[in-house]
Amino acid sequence: MRKTVAVLALGLLSVAPAQAVAADPDTTALRNAVTRAEVLRYEQRLNAIGLSNENNRLTASQGNFESVNYVIGELRKIGYNPTLVPYANTSSPNAWSERTPSTLEVVTSPNQTTLPNGKTFVNGTAATSDFAQMTWSQSADITAQVIPAARIQIPPPATADTVRSGCSMSDFPAAVKDNLVLVQRGGCTELVKAINARANGAKGLIIMNEGQTGRTASARYVSQTYPGTVGLGVTYALGQQLYEAAQTGPVTLRFKSDNNLTLRIDYDISAETPGGDPTRVLQVGAHIDGVAAGPGINDDGTGTAMNLTIASQIMKLGITPKYKIRFGWFSGEEQGLFGSTFFVNQLNSLQTTQTLAMLDYDMIASTNWIPFMYVPNDVTEPTLPAAQRAAEATLSKTHIDYLNSKLNVKQVDYPFDNRSDYAQWRRPSATRGVPATGFYTGAEGIKTAAQVADNAASTAGTGGQAGIQADPCYHEWCDTVFNLSQYGLDEFTDVLAHSILSFAGVGADAVEMPIRTDN
């Protein structure tokens, strides 16, 4: 959990009613099957890994690699077919630069060197200002035909950032495969366009500027990190030339680059239930790394172990969800959300819209727990789309209903601060907009007397202690198996199990999330 400031007081935000609340028979079997003993068994192993590796499980450390290997092994024993997802981030020692200037040349065009309107093709070899290679692009020597994607607008619309060429998987014709695809800037991030292009088999991506005032020059867009897409940004003028020439006949370009690319590889884990509709996927996440100061057994060994327990019992009970559940264990959270950011950035626009929701479970058994529930943030996100806001209210309310009705626990609403792995999934600015929520039992925040009183009558039999941190060992050497609420390990795992099955479509009263479309 990446927290830098304590949350001392949070006003309750309005939460829209859920469409339905899963009835007890839907989740009772799983809740009965997930036990504190199984969660603790996984936690003890993570604790031993940390203690035997300089008391930490920091990303890219031996402790982290052993943690990843352990979870992979347990998933295979259970019967899953987990995927090890390598990723690199842009922090040191990772580096990208051009050893030599890249070149862009016309090989063939309808009139070889001129366009139907009499204009001469810009030759990138002599005019490098007309294009710029995308950061993190791979070294390449590509000779291929230019295939325009759908929804390119020439002349451009008056309003900037409205052209959506390349934002949808359907923008790419079949001819894109093994060729260079031309898209236009706008409507979504260049990264989304790059992901969609790669998913459709393009050898490389050319992004022309949109064309309005101030949006005509070439730009060095940021591409993906690993494995990167070959790509470049070109001026609106060059993009227009390529587009118009391609309407007349085949246009073939040669793009050559020689890059210095240094990447440190870390790893995420992904495991999907065998059953469930693959076109509607519930993403469940936790982070598998820790900080340098300690083994991170609450932060986030609890999310790691609880999700592993729930995944285990779903398989053992033979539960077939209506919708596929994808469990993810992400590295690099403590260093900057690196693993989860990379993971979501591997999804094309169609896969993103097929993701029902992201449930993030980070720190679930703080010893002096504060029952925080992530909810939409009205202050920092006043323009959050109404549909996403409503979906996130539904997600949080399902957790809240269980806390209130079954545990007599009164939650504290926690407005999203984008400091855990849900962030990249839900950000509209990243053209993702996957609704998310998460249950979180507190870090360095001081528990108030009011919070103690609110939960004095909970099934825990106590409301905790006022005036001390929710987790006194947060990011400290003492975040070990002795830093866990046994009540949290037992009861809060049930909150997770109930919510996961509810959103995965189990039972007649499951909570149905709205279907989104690839745009």
The 10 Å CB-count burial string (b at 16+, else e) for 470-504 is: bbebbbeeebbbebbbebbbbbbbbbbbbbbbbbb
- The strands making up 180-184's β-sheet, listed across from edge to edge, are 95-108, 252-262, 140-148, 180-184, 204-208, 231-234, 131-133
The 10 Å CB-count burial string (b at 16+, else e) for 94-108 is: bebeeeeebbbebee
The amino acid occupying position 414 is Y
Among left, alpha and beta (phi > 0; psi -120 to 50; other), residue 155 is: beta
Strands 355-361 and 277-287: parallel
Q: Are 304 and 496 in contact (CB under 8 A)?
A: no
Q: Are 357 and 395 in contact (CB under 8 A)?
A: yes
- Tell me the CA distances in angstroms from 506 to 143, 394, 461, 499, 509, one per residue in order: 51, 16, 31, 10, 8
Closest CA to 412 of 380, 381, 448: 448
Spot the catalytic one: 190, 333, 392, 491: 333
Active site includes 333? yes
- Tell me the CA distances in angstroms from 239 to 126, 150, 195, 244, 447, one per residue in order: 17, 14, 20, 9, 58
Q: Give me the helix-helix angle, 62-78 and 36-51, nearest 10°.
A: 150
The catalytic site residues sit at 333
